[in-house]
Structure 1
């Protein structure tokens, strides 16, 4: 793996990220961070190292509703961290222009649910800018951040997971982290990438468990899934918050059924890592994909279709999808809507007994 210009073995890669060697000795300064603090740290590193970097969005000057940009205006000035009007189309349009002019543009959409007014700017302008100019011009220095996913009480307009809408659009990258270490490394990779990126941050994880995260800048490769737990009987695939659900499900399956699950965090939705997923399914013969978004047209369908084409002769059971329902995201019925551990556990039992 490429890291700070050096090649390190994959077995040491995660140790390198979190600042330890194979013996657990810290090699880089780290500090405890939750997910929103890791976002702040990544943005702080970027503003410090890149004089062209600017951060803008609704309320980011005082830290934003989730406090991800807190303190950055005071540290770097109002010309580099500033509020915008309440207009998502304008935020992304401005970001495209700033990136084309040579700035590192980091836009915040206050909630992923409100990214739709900017859909035209993202899909018809940002994603196509390089292609339509024959690579003479590009807006690859644009990164769009947005809180994403269910939060326990968000209801219709604060709990959506719109990643599949953008997965249909060549020219952009879509990334979703599962925790603080991954969040900082993937966000810095998005900011450095020469393509416009959408970075969805699981809002329910903002203040969840902390991890030891390096204070210095580091990157995690995009379009590379991570095998979190190896197994032999069933492949489990998810991203963001749902990874933590499936981790618990994998433990339940081992304890109650004696089933060995291989757990994979997709991390990048577009372009996604087909090789890692298909290699795992060829080994286990069974696949379960889970996400919070509605099942019809959700990204699980794309994974399922690709695996069916590539691994048809390896499959021991139909591919299972455990996802949200085809309804607006409910409020009081959220516990029944989300793909919880019991739904996923039942799906594993069906896969095994097929």
Structure 2
């Protein structure tokens, strides 16, 4: 088998050679050699007709889908797997990812891939670190959510089923002790549509990309909204109304948030952490402002706009300009602080003494 003639992935995007270096051109022969060795030694399956069927480029990984005689497998190669990226920190991160996936599989029924083998070194057939794991069927939720082939009513039914399936299959049935306070929960760092796999009916078939998993408060863990229905709270990244094929209006997103919060509350008998969900998009926006200075001004403007229920486009910006120029009176500043506190942490989300 010959190596691919270019660095295009089968999902239509180019593999960034500056990011991935020689990883972008790992030969098909090398991938097949690795796949057949582990297939024979670990899985004990026939590998005579192994072939590379898909190469998918992400921001931080390249995923190679291998078809063996009776099953599909994935060889996932991290962007750190060459040159200066080959550090102990990168090796530890790969080990942590493997341990996390195995822990989630052991302790829950969440649909995560089984890891069959992994190697943090380049002493192997592909000369790169890898995780060799099961293939999960399905399409990213982003693709199913914005599928334009359905009529509006059918699309709405599909979307609601996506949200219901996500909170029931991934969250409720796999999260112990949901009715408790003052604790941290485990979650993948990017709880968004590209990392949730769905079938054509909107049922969850898998969750992927468990790199840099975190322990985090519930309102940013399982009790938060999925990322694709909170995009209007990060205005710099929000494409509405210019990209209507890939974005929903703010009113539509709020409707989906209301539905998700209500369904989660019903599933939890209106107890425990569900009350954090209602305003979790605001907590998420605060988190984004801390981590991303470029997004900060637009999010602060959004906060002021909502806190004062401004109707004009520039009123919130005028407030921020006055604050920056030290022209905002103490009285107005106290009013702004009170409104922002109510917005960020409404009284009904505060833990009660038990």
TM-score between the two structures when normalised by the length of structure 2: 0.26
Relative to its length, the structure with more helix (as a share) is: 2
Larger radius of gyration: 2
Higher relative contact order (CA 8 A, sep 6+): 1
Relative to its length, the structure with more strand (as a share) is: 1
TM-score between the two structures when normalised by the length of structure 1: 0.26
